[in-house]
Amino acid sequence: MLQVVWFGWLLMMGLDARFGWSTMPGWLKWLGVASLIAGFWIVRLTFRENTFLAPVVRIQSDRGHRVISTGPYAVVRHPMYAGAIFIFAGTVLTLGSWWGLAAGMLLELIIAYRIVAEERLLRAHLPAMKTTRGASSTV
């Protein structure tokens, strides 16, 4: 579902830019570029630190799945999703679409649902999740 909403969101913002349904000031576009850079940097750090990342939420027992508490995980529980927030905002601002900002809220709700589902799975299957606060392995 996330992929369908994602591509629909991008298509809608492209059409918005093409047909001029909404406009943003130029300085916001530069703020968007900075947000994209920050978001992709956070996601890169997350992938470097957590080798258990996968598009599907699952426990990787065969690989010794464990709680990650170093790197960006020492700061935020789900750094990849935090980076995604910067990427979503940066995309909207760079493309200059107020409609994209409104529709992006749906993406945020889907991500929030995924975080809750992921937390439940990790807490149920990773022993360290019962004792460690503020750090987890994300997928």
The reply to whether 11 falls in a domain is yes
The reply to whether 139 falls in a domain is no
The reply to whether 16 falls in a domain is yes
The reply to whether 106 falls in a domain is yes
Mean pLDDT of 66-83: 86
Of the candidates 96, 133, 136, which has an alpha carbon nearest to the alpha carbon of residue 115?
136
Q: CB neighbours of 122 closer than 8 A, spacing ≥ 6?
A: 59, 67, 129, 136, 137, 138
Choose between 57 and 71: higher pLDDT: 71
The reply to whether 41 falls in a domain is yes
Average pLDDT of the chain, as a whole number:
85
The reply to whether 136 falls in a domain is no
The reply to whether 120 falls in a domain is yes
The stretches of 20-138 forming alpha helices (DSSP H) are 26-49, 79-95, 98-125
pTM: 0.79
Q: Categorize the per-residue pLDDT at 40 as very low, low, confident or very high, splitting at 50, 70 and 90.
A: very high
The reply to whether 137 falls in a domain is no
Q: Is 101 helix (H, G, I), strand (E, B) or coil?
A: helix
pLDDT at site 130: 53
pLDDT in tens, 93-119: 999 999 999 888 888 899 899 889 888
Q: Can you tell me which residue has the tokens 């997350």? A: 46
Output the DSSP codes for 28-51: HHHHHHHHHHHHHHHHHHHHHH-T
CB atoms within 10 A of CB 87: 18
Q: Categorize the per-residue pLDDT at 25 as very low, low, confident or very high, splitting at 50, 70 and 90.
A: very high
Where in the sequence is the domain holding 85, given as residue range(s)? 2-130
Instruction: Give me the number of domains the chain comprises.
Output: 1
Q: CB neighbours of 112 closer than 8 A, spacing ≥ 6?
A: none
Q: Categorize the per-residue pLDDT at 123 as very low, low, confident or very high, splitting at 50, 70 and 90.
A: confident
